[in-house]
């Protein structure tokens, strides 16, 4: 099905199942521990051996020798695959750091060997007996040292004359904000079981993008991707960390070949941060020039980041062309090359950290103007895309998000004077931030089967906690007129039609639109079998009414249909995006500087919300990750050895229960005709765009101290806290 | 009862160079446990954690491995009525112990009230931390009922009550990167209310 024009009215406009809060259909399996994740699939293939990954102990240089005698002789060892004895494997999609093979080391904890043994304990013990010697070379690991000389990536985006307008502006803000590296820290580490059957390879793995994975494995291993099957029905979190093939999958495949046995590998937690990918640090300079009435006349956002050779930085300016009006503009990205691990997509790449700067700069501008921060944003609401005036917004309700949020949150009680509200030992403050995140779509296919009046959906789409199983079941149930429990959804298998996959917050609307397309095809087949015009029929409660005649779905027998939704060029005229107003109240301990988040609210404009229950979870979860970015999360670089030193869940501090208060989410009831037939947009990344800045602004409101260096740990302001009266 | 006298000798056998099948067999130790009400007898490499005994040997996959280092709580199980991180303890230390895993709390057709509350309140997303969260949640309510104080208990001489602060404090060893904390707390409050 081609989506070539705005959706118009369709079946979902008076939906009975889509759009209703629905407990997850996979929920009972998840809460009883019976949902199968990659590493624990004992039943898929017999005789699985255990693999243990050895990571490099240097960040740059060469392996000069690897002594394996003791390891090979250790109990239970079946095979050892080493990098020096393996030709470097190929590169997969969006893969820049080497995955395995050869003696050259380009980043810390790069995989250099895999030990396969009968048991996990034996593989681990044998791996410890490998003695590796290196010729270590000097590398470049210090972002601050190379930042100033980083080349610009791509063209600067300019409009009007920024420098002149900024110089002439009545009020100017010129500030620099820094964000550190961050790691996805999904709770299920990278994990794969691999098995060969002749030249056919099956991987039971944990991956967000099944079709990309299958294609990439062909390129990486130098085999025909048609011989690769990937299966990933449950993914224990991804956040971008499982978009692309990583060393667990490559080593499971190579080790399985060497061991002539199926091999299972879970990348050890302490390896994940350095072996795999991370969100890179940024250094952002923002300049805002405004008239006294708040209208922005000059807006510049420059961002410096880094990556390995040939890959792009963390593009923190991504949202800046879209959010606020302003006739004179300059945005530019600069990217240094470092010998750190590869930077790659993490939840709302660019935008998540871009908001940490832009939305604080807006708070600073509001204060400089003596204006309410919400009013400042309202005044600068654009009519067309500010950085690209030829483009229209498909449906944008940012002002409503801010206004309704303000009412709900009690914004009018905020004191514009910082450090004005003290209760006992606590300094209270509130903050606001706007949120913008694009709502792309991606072609997506599905197959639907009808038998005995029940529906089975097959698509290689993944559920990474996003609630995909349920929204796909809701869509199929709505389309075919059956109760939800008459729909079975099977996901994540590359033998199913290729889907959009889970990334860029496009999964929900794209994959359900694909299911919609397949269901339209199945309805037509049913119409042909039973003799009615399916496009004029109502499918409801297991029966069908067409031209005043009634039919029973079950009488159509056994049928199957497959289709793919494809998105047409007309969408290029629009900026299709999601919007939010984020609000936060913090209490800062007047003695210790410790920050507690007391309240969080997000008001979201994301089109139709397919399942408010799971969509809300996506948003609160993203708000939690934003809280981590604002307050605790930081990959600390050891610039002597070129690694992230805090590479485990003790050293890298993700938010815990005690850090997070009750959270509130409001969805505006909007419909976006441009995005897809579902009129729905994603929320999983919108939720991380803004809350961190709202927290930072609340801390300023509580204390009068502006820290622009994330995370906002108390050591950065303890000595500046207001005097304790 | 831990046979400490044998630990060193066993460790030598395991990490030494003896690779014969006999040498391997000699490293195994018997351990008997009651797991989810069933008596199990295992013969295990003494280095096997309780977590891997559940996952790899008994194939009770519900208990998850998030870090293997006691940093995440995904592996939480209930041993003799107390929640522990099963990755931080060796299986052979639990001879004679009663272990309850997520599979022992309820089944798909007969959910434990806490499991049902997690479904109702969407107290999860990816589901990977969930079994550990639920084992902790069930234990936390028991700990509060038993009067065990926490850092969040204002008056150590008074009986703690089920408050949001108590829940958050006591659950903080169970990380959820999907960020379901707010919903998990609501699920626990509901179950506690029903129990009270
Ligand atoms: S796996 Fe045991 S605490 Fe993480
Ligand atoms: S549900 Fe994914 S980590 Fe908790």
User: Residue B134: nearest ligand to its CA?
Assistant: 2
Q: Which residue has the higher pLDDT, A95 or B11?
A: A95
A506 secondary structure, DSSP code = -
Structure confidence at residue A388 as a pLDDT band (50, 70, 90): confident
pLDDT of residue A413: 97
Return the HEC string of A260-297. Answer: CCCEEEECCHHHHHHHCCEECCEEEEEEEEECCCCCEE
Q: Which residue of A has its CA nearest to B56?
A: A40
CA distance A414 to B12: 67
Check CB contact under 8 Å for B168 and A23. Answer: no
Strand A559-567, strand A2-3: pairing = parallel
Q: Is A379 left (phi over 0), alpha (psi -120 to 50) or beta?
A: alpha
Active site residues of A: 685
pLDDT in tens, B122-170: 999 999 999 999 999 999 999 999 999 999 998 999 999 999 999 999 9
Tell me if A2-35+441-571 shares its fold with A394-439+576-725. yes
Nearest to A206 by CA among A221, A226, A186: A186
Could you say which of A32, A620, A622 has the minimum Cβ distance to residue B103?
A32
Residue A279 forms beta bridges with which residues?
Answer: A182
Which chain A residues have a beta carbon less than 8 Å from that of B164?
Answer: 662
Say whether pLDDT at B23 is over 90.
no
pLDDT of residue B176: 98
- CATH number, domain A44-138+189-270, options 3.10.20.740, 1.10.1040.50, 3.40.50.1370, 3.30.365.10: 3.30.365.10
Q: Is A344 on the interface with B (CB under 8 A)?
A: no
Structure confidence at residue B196 as a pLDDT band (50, 70, 90): low
Structure confidence at residue B14 as a pLDDT band (50, 70, 90): very low
pLDDT of residue A724: 84
Q: How far does the centroid of ligand 2 lie from the alpha carbon of residue B177, in Å? A: 5
Check CB contact under 8 Å for B178 and A29. Answer: no
Q: Is B126 in the pocket of ligand 2 (CB under 6 A)?
A: yes
User: Measuring from atom 3 of ligand 2, which residue has the nearest CA?
Assistant: B176
pLDDT of residue B26: 52
Cβ < 6 A, ligand 1 pocket: B 65-68, 70-75, 85, 87
pLDDT in tens, A445-465: 999 999 999 999 999 999 999
A715 secondary structure, DSSP code = G
- CATH number, domain A2-35+441-571, options 1.20.1250.20, 3.30.365.10, 2.40.70.10, 3.40.50.800: 3.30.365.10
Which chain B residues have a beta carbon less than 8 Å from that of A183?
Answer: none
Q: Quick one: average pLDDT of A254-265?
A: 98
The contacts of residue A41 (CB under 8 Å, 6+ apart) are A193, A204
Say whether pLDDT at B30 is over 70.
yes
- CB A311, CB A343: distance < 8 Å: yes
- Domain spans in chain A, listed from the N-terminal domain onward: 2-35+441-571, 44-138+189-270, 394-439+576-725
The two three-digit tokens of residue B109, written as one number: 């057709």
Q: Is A240 on the interface with B (CB under 8 A)?
A: no
Which chain B residues have a beta carbon less than 8 Å from that of A656?
Answer: 171-175, 181
Q: What is the nearest CA distance from A472 to chain B, expressed in angstroms?
A: 16
Q: With H, G, I as helix, E, B as strand and everything else as coil, classify residue A512.
A: helix
CB atoms within 10 A of CB A135: 12
Nearest to B46 by CA among B18, B96, B79, B9: B9
- What is the dihedral angle through the alpha carbons of A591, A592, A597, A598, rounded to the nearest 10 degrees? -30
Q: With H, G, I as helix, E, B as strand and everything else as coil, classify residue A222.
A: coil
pLDDT of residue B1: 30
pLDDT of residue A302: 98
Say whether pLDDT at B18 is over 70.
no
Domains of chain B by range and CATH? Answer: 25-104 (3.10.20.30), 113-195 (1.10.150.120)
- Ligand 2 atom at minimal distance to the Cα of residue B177: 3
- CB A205, CB A192: distance < 8 Å: yes
A281 secondary structure, DSSP code = P
Q: State the best of A30, A237, A466, A624 to mutate against chain B, taking most chain B CBs within 10 Å.
A: A30
pLDDT in tens, A115-133: 999 999 999 999 999 999 9
Q: Which helix (H) or strand (E) holds B191?
A: helix B181-195
Q: Which of A27, A208, A237, A628 to mutate to test the pocket of ligand 2 (most atoms within 8 A of CB)?
A: A237
Say whether pLDDT at A608 is over 80.
yes
Q: Is A572 on the interface with B (CB under 8 A)?
A: no
Q: Is B61 on the interface with A (CB under 8 A)?
A: yes
Q: Chain-wide mean pLDDT for chain B?
A: 89
Measured at the CA of A182, the angle between CA A58 and CA A90, to 5 degrees, comes to: 55
Alpha-carbon distances, residue B2 vs B51, B77, B81 (angstroms): 17, 20, 19
Nearest to A669 by CA among A400, A425, A468: A400
Q: Which residue of B has its CA nearest to A70?
A: B17
- CB A667, CB A682: distance < 8 Å: no
Which chain A residues have a beta carbon less than 8 Å from that of B115?
Answer: 28, 31-32
User: What's the ipTM?
Assistant: 0.97
Strand A191-197, strand A296-307: pairing = unpaired
Structure confidence at residue B10 as a pLDDT band (50, 70, 90): very low
Say whether pLDDT at A107 is over 60.
yes
Say whether pLDDT at A597 is over 90.
yes
Q: Is B128 in the pocket of ligand 2 (CB under 6 A)?
A: yes
Q: Quick one: average pLDDT of A395-404?
A: 98
CA distance A50 to B55: 13
Phi, psi of A146 (to 5 degrees): -105, -10
Fold (topology level) of A394-439+576-725:
Aldehyde Oxidoreductase; domain 4 (3.30.365)
Could you say which of B55, B106, B183 has the minimum Cβ distance to residue A40?
B55
CA distance A301 to A320: 7
Q: Which of B62, B124, B134 to mutate to test the pocket of ligand 2 (most atoms within 8 A of CB)?
A: B124
Phi, psi of A177 (to 5 degrees): -125, 140
Q: What is the nearest CA distance from B98 to chain A, expressed in angstroms?
A: 19
pLDDT in tens, A574-585: 999 999 999 999
CA distance A616 to A687: 9
- What is the dihedral angle through the alpha carbons of B75, B78, B84, B90, rounded to the nearest 10 degrees? -80
Which chain A residues have a beta carbon less than 8 Å from that of B67?
Answer: 189, 269, 648-649
The contacts of residue A153 (CB under 8 Å, 6+ apart) are A312, A313, A333, A334, A335
Structure confidence at residue B57 as a pLDDT band (50, 70, 90): very high
Say whether pLDDT at B13 is over 50.
no
% of chain A with per-residue pLDDT over 70:
100
Would you tell me the crossing angle of helices A507-530 and A468-480 to the nearest 10 degrees?
30
Surface of A (59-118) touching B: CB under 8 A: 70, 73-77
Q: Whole-model pTM?
A: 0.96
CA distance A547 to A689: 49
Check CB contact under 8 Å for A187 and B126. Answer: yes
Say whether pLDDT at B24 is over 70.
no
Q: How many Å separate Cα A451 from the centre of its chain? A: 37
Surface of B (65-124) touching A: CB under 8 A: 65-69, 71-72, 74, 101-103, 105-108, 111, 115-116, 118-120, 122, 124
Structure confidence at residue A22 as a pLDDT band (50, 70, 90): very high
A674 secondary structure, DSSP code = T
pLDDT in tens, A24-75: 999 999 999 999 999 999 999 999 999 999 999 999 999 999 999 999 999 9
Alpha-carbon distances, residue A644 vs A71, A339, A637, A650 (angstroms): 28, 12, 5, 13
Q: Quick one: average pLDDT of A628-638?
A: 98
Structure confidence at residue A389 as a pLDDT band (50, 70, 90): confident
Measured at the CA of B68, the angle between CA B67 and CA B71, to 5 degrees, comes to: 55
Say whether pLDDT at B113 is over 90.
yes
Q: Is B52 on the interface with A (CB under 8 A)?
A: yes
Q: Quick one: average pLDDT of A367-384?
A: 97
Q: Is A273 on the interface with B (CB under 8 A)?
A: no
Nearest to A577 by CA among A505, A508, A513, A510: A505
Could you say which of B24, B47, B63 has the minimum Cβ distance to residue A33?
B63
Range of weakest confidence among A184-198, A351-365, B11-25, B52-66? B11-25
Which chain A residues have a beta carbon less than 8 Å from that of B65?
Answer: 39, 189, 266
Q: Is A271 on the interface with B (CB under 8 A)?
A: no
Q: How many Å separate Cα A382 from the centre of its chain? A: 27
Check CB contact under 8 Å for A74 and B72. Answer: no
Residue A134 forms beta bridges with which residues?
Answer: A63
Q: Is B175 on the interface with A (CB under 8 A)?
A: yes
Q: With H, G, I as helix, E, B as strand and everything else as coil, classify residue A378.
A: helix
CA distance B180 to B175: 9
Q: State the best of A26, A32, A466 to mutate against chain B, taking most chain B CBs within 10 Å.
A: A32
Say whether pLDDT at B16 is over 70.
no
Q: Is B11 on the interface with A (CB under 8 A)?
A: no
Q: Chain-wide mean pLDDT for chain A?
A: 97
CA distance A560 to A475: 17
Q: With H, G, I as helix, E, B as strand and everything else as coil, classify residue A664.
A: strand
Residue A205 forms beta bridges with which residues?
Answer: A192
Which chain B residues have a beta carbon less than 8 Å from that of A23?
Answer: 119-120, 122
């Amino acid at each position: 099905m081609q989506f070539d024009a705005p959706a118009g009215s369709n079946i979902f406009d008076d939906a009975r199942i889509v759009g209703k809060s629905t407990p997850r259909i996979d929920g009972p399996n998840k809460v009883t521990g019976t949902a199968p994740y990659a590493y624990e699939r004992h039943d898929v293939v017999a005789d699985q051996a255990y693999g243990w990954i050895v990571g490099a102990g240097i960040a740059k240089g060469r392996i000069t020798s690897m002594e394996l005698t003791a390891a090979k002789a250790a109990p239970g060892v079946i095979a050892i695959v080493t990098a020096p004895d393996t030709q470097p494997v190929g590169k997969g999609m969006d893969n820049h750091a080497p995955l395995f093979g050869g003696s050259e080391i380009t980043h810390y904890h790069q995989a250099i060997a895999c030990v396969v043994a009968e048991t996990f304990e034996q593989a681990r013990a044998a791996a410890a007996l490998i003695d590796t010697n290196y010729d270590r070379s000097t590398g470049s690991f210090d972002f601050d040292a190379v930042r100033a000389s980083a080349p610009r990536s791509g063209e600067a985006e300019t409009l009007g004359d920024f420098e002149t307008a900024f110089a002439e502006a009545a009020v100017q803000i010129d500030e620099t904000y820094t964000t550190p590296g961050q790691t996805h820290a999904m709770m299920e580490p990278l994990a794969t079981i691999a098995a060969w059957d002749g030249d056919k390879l099956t991987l039971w793995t944990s991956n967000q993008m099944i079709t990309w994975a299958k294609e990439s494995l062909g390129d990486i291993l130098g085999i025909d991707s048609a011989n690769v099957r990937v299966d990933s029905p449950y993914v224990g979190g991804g956040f971008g960390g499982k978009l692309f093939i990583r060393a667990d999958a490559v080593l499971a495949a190579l080790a399985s070949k060497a061991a002539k046995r199926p091999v299972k590998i879970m990348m050890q937690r302490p390896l994940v941060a350095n072996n795999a990918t991370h969100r890179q640090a940024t250094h952002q300079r923002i300049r805002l020039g405004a008239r006294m009435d708040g209208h922005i006349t000059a807006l510049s956002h420059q961002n410096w980041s880094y990556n390995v050779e040939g890959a792009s930085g963390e593009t923190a300016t991504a949202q800046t062309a879209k959010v606020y009006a302003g006739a004179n503009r300059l945005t530019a990205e600069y990217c240094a090359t470092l010998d750190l691990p590869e930077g790659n997509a993490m939840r709302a790449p660019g935008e998540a950290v871009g908001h940490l700067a832009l939305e604080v700069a807006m708070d600073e501008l509001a204060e400089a103007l003596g204006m309410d921060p919400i009013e400042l944003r309202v005044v600068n609401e654009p009519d067309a895309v500010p950085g690209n005036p030829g483009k229209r917004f498909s449906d944008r309700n940012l002002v409503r998000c801010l206004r309704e949020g303000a009412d709900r949150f009690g914004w009018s009680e905020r004191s514009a004077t910082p450090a004005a509200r003290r209760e006992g030992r606590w300094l209270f403050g509130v903050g606001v931030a706007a949120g913008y995140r694009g709502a792309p779509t991606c072609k997506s296919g599905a197959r639907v089967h009808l038998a005995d009046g029940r529906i089975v959906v097959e698509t290689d789409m993944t559920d990474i906690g996003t609630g995909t199983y349920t929204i796909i079941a809701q869509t199929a149930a709505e389309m075919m007129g059956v109760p939800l429990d008459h729909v079975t959804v099977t996901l994540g298998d590359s033998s199913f039609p290729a889907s959009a996959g889970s990334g860029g917050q496009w999964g929900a609307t794209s994959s359900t639109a694909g299911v919609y397309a397949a269901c339209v095809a199945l309805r037509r087949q049913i119409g042909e079998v039973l003799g009615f015009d399916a496009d004029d029929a109502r499918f409801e409660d297991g029966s069908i009414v067409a031209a005043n005649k009634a039919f029973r779905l079950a009488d159509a027998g056994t049928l199957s249909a497959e289709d793919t939704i494809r998105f047409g060029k007309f969408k290029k005229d629009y900026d299709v995006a999601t919007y939010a107003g984020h609000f936060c109240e913090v209490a800062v301990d007047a003695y210790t500087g410790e920050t507690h988040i007391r309240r969080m609210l997000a008001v979201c404009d994301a089109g139709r919300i397919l399942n408010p229950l799971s969509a809300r979870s996506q948003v609160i979860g993203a708000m939690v990750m934003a809280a981590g970015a604002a307050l605790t999360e930081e990959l600390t670089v050891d610039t002597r050895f070129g690694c992230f030193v805090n590479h485990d869940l003790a050293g890298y501090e993700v938010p815990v229960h005690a850090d997070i208060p009750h959270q509130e989410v409001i969805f505006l009831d909007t419909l976006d005709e441009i995005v897809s037939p579902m009129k729905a947009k994603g929320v999983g990344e919108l939720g991380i765009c803004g809350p961190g800045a709202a927290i930072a602004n609340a801390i300023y409101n509580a204390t009068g101290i502006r820290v622009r260096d994330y995370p906002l740990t108390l050591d950065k302001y303890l000595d500046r806290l207001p005097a304790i009266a | 009862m831990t046979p400490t006298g044998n630990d060193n000798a066993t460790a030598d056998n395991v990490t030494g160079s003896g690779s014969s099948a006999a040498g391997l067999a000699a490293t195994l130790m018997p351990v008997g446990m009651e797991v989810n009400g069933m008596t199990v007898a295992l013969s295990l490499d003494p280095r096997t954690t309780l977590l891997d005994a559940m996952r790899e040997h008994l194939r009770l996959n519900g208990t998850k491995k998030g870090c293997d280092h006691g940093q995440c709580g995904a592996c939480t199980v209930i041993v003799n009525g107390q929640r522990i991180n099963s990755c931080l303890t060796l299986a052979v230390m639990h001879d004679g112990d009663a272990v309850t895993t997520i599979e022992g709390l309820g089944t798909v057709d007969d959910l434990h009230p806490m499991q049902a509350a997690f479904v109702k309140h969407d107290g999860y997303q990816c589901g990977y931390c969930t079994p550990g969260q639920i084992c902790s949640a069930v234990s936390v309510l028991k700990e509060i009922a038993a009067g065990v104080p926490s850092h969040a208990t204002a008056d150590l001489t008074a009986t703690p009550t089920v408050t949001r602060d108590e829940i958050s404090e006591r659950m903080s060893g169970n990380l959820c990167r999907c960020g379901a904390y707010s919903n998990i707390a609501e699920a626990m409050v509901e179950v506690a209310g029903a129990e009270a």
